[in-house]
Structure 1
């Protein structure tokens, strides 16, 4: 896990704060404050790529639909196949 190198009280504080968000509107407000527009676009794009990969879309259709680069699609696929199962956990719950 790459995030293991970052584990600690400060990251725990961030994650605990995110877990306290109760509504979609609170998420919009928090992420508007904490992320730049480009950071949020990148997060949104990666998440959509992961959903489409899990749905069986081809790389080219995913790139066309999301505007993601082939490198981004490949990276997300690698995370789905060999990562910490974070994408799977969230996508399976929604």
Structure 2
């Protein structure tokens, strides 16, 4: 299973820490300390690419709007289609939250 490659005590601790964050402002504070600006931007870009793939946008449109390379888009496409389901779960929850607002 793919998850076994990343599973471990340090990763568990990281994810438990993330689950302790109470709001977006706390996320900004924690991730500002944890990651470089480039790493945060890369993570945000990947999520945006996944959302656009979910909406059936073309690679050209995604590349133009996000600046992501076709290699990055392809990698995220594989995760969306054949991964652990994390992207799809989060995108569905984000969409549900948007509908509630």
Which range, TM-score by smaller chain?
over 0.9
1:55-84 deviations in Å (ceiling 9; x for gaps): 111110000000000001111001000000
Q: Does 1:66 align with 2:66?
A: yes
RMSD, aligned α-carbons: 1.0
State how far apart, in whole Å, the 1-side matches of 2:28 and 2:2 are. Answer: 26
Q: Which runs of 5+ in 2 are unaligned?
A: 95-101
Tell me the equivalent position of 2:7.
7
Moved beyond 2 Å, runs of 4+: none
Tell me how far 1:2 sits from its aligned partner: 3.5
1:67-82 counterparts in 2 under 5 A? 67-82=67-82
Structure 1, unaligned runs of 5 or more = none
Please tell me whether residue 44 in structure 1 is matched to residue 44 in structure 2: yes
Return the offset for 1:50: 0.2
TM-score (norm. length: structure 1)? 0.95
For these two proteins, the number of residue pairs brought into alignment is 94
